[in-house]
Structure 1
Amino acid sequence: MKAAYIKQLGDASSIQVGELPDPEIQQTDVLVQVEGVAVDHVDTYVRSGAYKTDIAFPHVIGRDMVGQVIAVGSAVTAFKPGDSVWTNAMGYDGRQGVTSTLAAVPADRLAPVPAGVDHLQLIASVHSSATAVIILNDVMQAEFGQSVLIEGAAGHVGAKLVQLAKRMGLNVVTTSNERDFTKLAKFGSQGTFNYHENFAEKVTALLPAGVDHIIDTSGNVDFQTNINLLARNGETTLITAPKSNLFTFNVRDFYMNQKHVNGFVISHASLDQLQQAAKTINAAFSQGLLLDDAILIKHFDDAKWAHAALETGQDKQNRIVLVP
């Protein structure tokens, strides 16, 4: 099979594209003919060694894949040849990645592609959509009627958070560039604020009792600003960090008002969390939601370029999808 792989940890130049032996499936595995693979920042962390995880070399890169089942193990009953499936849980914790023409995937890490949904649009979405679902449902345990401020809401994860929070009945407010206000209002934001301005005053005016949940997708908001905006018992969740890797804040105000801070990376999500998230986002996909990403389609041969592009921020608007 053709695959993009590494023989050792390193920078993007360590990626090779060539022939590897076809994978063999075990009783609980499914053999999939790969149609497309999304490229995520987490892929670069695994490849470089920044994210510590078990790897057997040569290691096929890539985590999120959509394709068609061509064979199933003897114990598999949920899928059959010809089914369209996707996964977002390969390429780490000892599992081979999926940037290959064939992939052997454990059946419990696969989900069906809903009828009528564009396969490449779907796989471009699943990483950010699953991240958003798990943050809202499991990390924050957000409840109907609560308020949530999503910072950097026009980004890939931010846009998914807005749509899902609206579906959950949350009172959603957002920060973004002004050019994205109309889109975010359509997604469900009830208050759109320009992150280049002093949005904190405007958020406070709209929600004087404070915000129940804040999600910073950018790492560019002063931590103290978010602490000040939180209601008592409120919480903020970080999915990235500032370039300085440092925050300063008023500790006394933080603990006396029982405020909380969470950190989240999807690579630490449990199998159950991933499976439940797959059901939620598949339901949304079936209704035409969460499929708003602009996609740049490249080939497996461009894997080295794709990793370098992510690491240098060459193209922040598009989600990169590699096809065989």
Structure 2
Amino acid sequence: MDKDRMSVRSALKTIMKAIRVTEFGGPQVLKLEINVPIPEPAQDEVLIKVEAAGINPVDTYIRSGTYAVKPTLPYTPGKDVAGVVEDVGAKVLHLKKGDRVYSMATTSGGYAEYCTAASSGTKILHSNLSFQEGAGIGIPYYTAYRALVIIGGARPGQTVLIHGASGAVGLACVQIARSRGLRVLGTAGSQAGIELISRNGCDVAFSHREEGYTDKIMEATERTGPDIIIEMLANVNLEKDLSMIAKKGRIVVVGNRGSVEITPRLAMQKECIVTGMVLFNASQDELNEIDAAVSAGMRDGWVKPHIGKMYTLEQAPVAHDDVINNKGAQGRLIFKIC
């Protein structure tokens, strides 16, 4: 480490507050510790002073121990953050101390006052957006773009149904679809959610708690069905999606919490494609495309995460319960750190 970088490090605090998980389990295993050493960035990493951290459903799966890839205990959860660069590794050339950034590539965990992150996954946060909004960009918008555009093959003039549009990924899908010239249909589980997705660009909004809402969706498409369906809860909705999708259409499964029985003949009749999507399967070329699209969206103003609720780190167990057991998602949940 050179003298300049040593002086930067010496000017920083040495300990911080952070959530630590020492055993897998329910939300109660999220413990706030106040004497956690501030991590030091590797050569290709940056150190970020975290202003806000995003709360993703996948964080709860990892915490519970049910996720396919388990971190080494103890660990700090959280991949999505926004904040200010405090230090950079020796090989980092495109970022510098003082840059406003967002990242979905934390390496030490984002539920903390400071975190390290891979420089390749850390991007400049446009001045149009607050840090709280910045913490809503990473996983939600990258997931939405990959599901809708790269996997779903969305084209201007098509009709997309976002089945569960009022959550963070769903709202990102609405904004992306609107920006690309699609007709956007969306569902939500509450009146507030319906109003939210309408404000964000849904041409027609439906309550998925209303009896017969799928008939209304079909009426809105003149009985042909949506060309694309982005599905947030496949174990509940996949059979309905198969009954609604247009011939030769595509259903992209983004979220699922269990098994489901379907009627394969529906897929045969429609000759549709049902495909899953996991963001972390994205190639570097795909990530580069998403980077460019999101950067343009921030500049042009259509990338605008809606913050549904903010929490302190002390409220981490409540936040993890809320992100899974909400009664109608309404945007992004975040920790406000500073």
1:22 offset after TM fit, Å?
Answer: 2.5
1:159 offset after TM fit, Å?
Answer: 2.0
Q: Which residue of 1 aligns with 2:19?
A: 4
Task: Map Cα deviations across residues 17-52 of structure 1 (whole Å, 9 max, x no partner).
Answer: 222233222221112111111122111111111112
1:203 offset after TM fit, Å?
Answer: 2.9
76-85 or 130-139: bigger deviation: 130-139
Percentage identity across paired residues of the two chains: 25
Task: Report the secondary structure of 1:105's partner residue.
Answer: strand
Output the amino acid matched with 1:162.
Answer: V
1:235 offset after TM fit, Å?
Answer: 1.3
Task: Report the secondary structure of 2:248's partner residue.
Answer: strand
User: Could you tell me how far apart the structure 2 residues matched to 1:315 and 1:198 are?
Assistant: 18
Output the amino acid matched with 1:248.
Answer: I
User: Could you tell me how far apart the structure 1 residues matched to 2:191 and 2:37 are?
Assistant: 50
Partner of residue 295 from structure 2, selected from 278, 282, 285: 282
Kept in 2: contact 1:295–1:321 (CA 8 A): no
Output the amino acid matched with 1:233.
Answer: K
Kept in 2: contact 1:124–1:321 (CA 8 A): no
Uncovered stretches (5+) of structure 2, i.e. residues with no partner: 1-14
153-162 or 59-68: bigger deviation: 153-162
1:125 offset after TM fit, Å?
Answer: 4.2
User: Could you tell me how far apart the structure 2 residues matched to 1:194 and 1:314 are?
Assistant: 13
Aligned pairs for 1:185-264 (under 5 A) are 185-195=198-208, 196-207=210-221, 208-219=223-234, 222-241=237-256, 245-249=259-263, 251-264=264-277
User: Could you tell me how far apart the structure 2 residues matched to 1:291 and 1:161 are?
Assistant: 12
RMSD: 2.6
Task: Report the secondary structure of 1:149's partner residue.
Answer: strand
Kept in 1: contact 2:132–2:334 (CA 8 A): no
Uncovered stretches (5+) of structure 1, i.e. residues with no partner: none
* Residue correspondences, number: 318
User: Could you tell me how far apart the structure 1 residues matched to 2:155 and 2:330 are?
Assistant: 31
Q: 1:57 to 1:116 in 2, by over 3 A?
A: same
User: Could you tell me how far apart the structure 2 residues matched to 1:30 and 1:173 are?
Assistant: 40
Q: 1:226 to 1:110 in 2, by over 3 A?
A: same
Q: 1:15 to 1:225 in 2, by over 3 A?
A: closer
Aligned pairs for 1:1-324 (under 5 A) are 1-2=15-16, 3-18=18-33, 19-90=35-106, 95-176=107-188, 177=190, 180-181=193-194, 183-195=196-208, 196-207=210-221, 208-219=223-234, 222-241=237-256, 245-249=259-263, 251-313=264-326, 316-317=329-330, 319-324=333-338
User: Could you tell me how far apart the structure 1 residues matched to 2:241 and 2:195 are?
Assistant: 24
1:306 offset after TM fit, Å?
Answer: 2.2
Q: What TM-score, normalized to structure 1? A: 0.87
Q: 1:86 to 1:292 in 2, by over 3 A?
A: closer
